[in-house]
A and B are shown apart, each in its own frame.
Chain A
Amino acid sequence: MNRFAALALTLACLIAAPAHAQLKIDITKGNVAPLPIAVPDFAGDTQLGQDIADVVAADLERSGLFKPIDKSAFIEKIDTQTATPRFADWRQVGAQGLVTGVISTQGEHLKVSFRLWDVTGEQQAAGKEYNSFKNNWRRIAHIIADEIYSRLTGETGYFDSRIVYVAESGPLQRRVKRLAIMDQDGENHKFLTDGRYMALTPRFSPKSQEIIYLSFAGKKPRVFLRDLQTGREESLGSFDGMSFAPRFTPDGHSIIMSIALGDSGVTNLYTMSLGSRQLHRLTNSDGIDTSPSYSPDSKRIVFNSDRGGAQQIYTMNADGSNIERISFGDGRYGTPAWSPRGDLIAFTKIAGGQFYIGVMRPDGSGERALTSSYSEEGPTWSPNGRVIMFSRQDRNGRTRLYSVDVTGYNLREVPTPIDASDPAWSPLLPL
């Protein structure tokens, strides 16, 4: 066929055939592949070097975003004289990131420096030095893990934090409930109460090393404030009714809780200044308003109420005005918790005989279930708003803590010595 005819045919095709229109498809989701990272033992001290590297690697792995490479595969040995790693050796074992560290000790003092290397780009990505005491080595490891996490994900970390929760034991009819505290990786575990009186709903102060919780010493539950460093406790007064679900306000100067007055069971939200101990009522329903949680900017409060009939989630301004219902799905909603990032509210939902931990945006849109089971509840957020911890009970009554990423991936059981419920996640610890 001559060139003119070919051109005419091509033009005819373009004009005559709308079937040539493109099919365009948007791919808006992927699956997150953990970044392969190598964390060799830190040089300069054999035991501490291994301990710190192991804690860093475990933190990164637990986040679900990193995949530490098996140490036995390593080729190059990092020592105190290593200035720049042999990147080819690390590429060979599949590492994209590499963490090297050097330790020196003098008496009880400890100096740790680390460097994060981009193996593909063959350059240093981060590096810092820390001076502290030997017995602080775990915190240093968590702080280093946070630096690495932050540099590689663009988000703040969450490893240098603690969990306070209710440790449970004994038969279901005579359950012993005591408070316990541990690092977010389950280490440094300590019981805070002795189990003589039931202790519930512990919550961290956002600003100080204190917790509040409910104790059933005596007939009525009382709210107690405890200093975690000194162990000193004080009762925040007895209120005219039963008090529940106390939480700190974001500035740490007041608490918010629900109080049930009289026998009617009518329960409303109150704040109380820790300084003046003045009570201030926020809601005025004739039902049950409970489980309040502040937005991180202190302007709004999310809470649980049955004012509309069934248990649902509402938000309101911090002064109690502008109450809006935000949950609208089938079933009952409770235990709302506002993310420290302000962008999401986590909650427990019961529908169709199944329990769910879910999240929704503060206006109620975008509701997503993250997990579901026979019985689970009580979400608490990691300091960076990326991970949620909650408790789950199986049909035999065994109750444990679990964590899940806000994307719904990486569900894991959190190790505790005995049964556990009602976790609360601390902010990042002060440096």
Chain B
Amino acid sequence: MLVAIAACTAGIPHPAKTNTSMASLHPEIPHDPTLPISLTTVDNVKNQLYKCWAVKAGAAHVPVVTIGVWLNRDGSLVDARYTENTAANMHDPAYRDAAEAAMRAVHLCTPLTGLPPDKYEGWSYIEFTFDLAEMLR
């Protein structure tokens, strides 16, 4: 039983380790506000990604891309995968361009720095949504 409890609190298991698709493992669980990840941590991560995400010149319409990212305790990358919504659109070249640029940003930016190690369970998995709509307004 002790082993089982330890497994429960180790964060969201990576699909390759449990052989389960992302959708079935956590269908639409909203962000838990009791999760102790401070706003400053979130801002810190955002600022790192802002620098890594190369947006193509004069992008007038950039599709929204969502990527699920698994991290080690030191902030380095375990794996990054497109969510099902994003993966479904990859046949569209413009969409694929945008998706690949977002994926490159994730790879360029990891290891992420400044993440609180004592709150690892809260950030071992992050879902990033790349959405330029605000900047292009």
Contact = CB atoms under 8 A, between A and B. Distances in A.
A23 B127 contact: yes
A25 B7 CA distance: 25
A131 B125 CA distance: 60
B126 interface: yes
B8 interface: yes
A2 interface: no
B129 A25 contact: yes
A234 B8 CA distance: 84
Nearest to B64: A26
B82 interface: no
Interface of B: 4, 7-9, 11-12, 26, 29-32, 34-35, 37, 42, 45-46, 49-51, 53-61, 93, 102, 105, 121-123, 125-135
A21 B9 CA distance: 11
A23 B37 contact: yes
Interface string A59-74: 0000001100000000
A370 to B, nearest CB: 15
Interface string A4-25: 0000010011001111111111
A27 B131 contact: yes
A155 interface: yes
B102 to A, nearest CB: 8
B64 to A, nearest CB: 10
A24 B68 CA distance: 9
Interface in A148-178: 149, 152-155
Nearest to A37: B57
Nearest to A9: B4
A3 interface: no
A27 B53 contact: yes
23 contacts: A12-B8, A19-B35, A20-B11, A20-B26, A21-B31, A22-B126, A23-B127, A24-B129, A25-B45, A25-B49, A26-B128, A27-B53, A27-B105, A28-B134, A30-B55, A30-B105, A31-B51, A32-B55, A32-B59, A33-B54, A66-B57, A154-B58, A154-B61
Given A21-B29, A22-B31, A24-B31, A31 B54 contact: yes
A232 B133 CA distance: 48
B1 to A, nearest CB: 9
Nearest to A36: B57
B36 to A, nearest CB: 9
- Dominant secondary structure of chain B at its interface with chain A: mixed
A23 B122 contact: yes
A1 to B, nearest CB: 9
Nearest to B68: A22
Of the four ranges (under 10, 10 to 19, 20 to 34, 35 or more), the interface on chain A belongs to 20 to 34
B38 to A, nearest CB: 11
Contact of A121 (B4, B42, B93): B93
Interface of A: 9, 12-13, 16-35, 65-66, 121, 149, 152-155, 407
B60 A17 contact: no
A149 B60 CA distance: 12
A35 B56 CA distance: 7
A21 B58 contact: no
Contacts of B105: 27, 30
Contacts of B129: 24-27
Contacts of B49: 25, 27
Contacts of A20: 11-12, 26, 29
A21 B129 CA distance: 16
Contacts of A19: 9, 11, 32, 35, 121-122
Given A12-B4, A28-B135, A30-B135, A23 B57 contact: no
Contacts of B35: 19, 21, 23
B12 A29 contact: no
Contacts of A13: 4, 7-8
A310 B58 CA distance: 38
B131 A28 contact: yes
Contacts of B7: 9, 13
Contact of B55 (A17, A31, A152, A154): A31
A240 B55 CA distance: 55
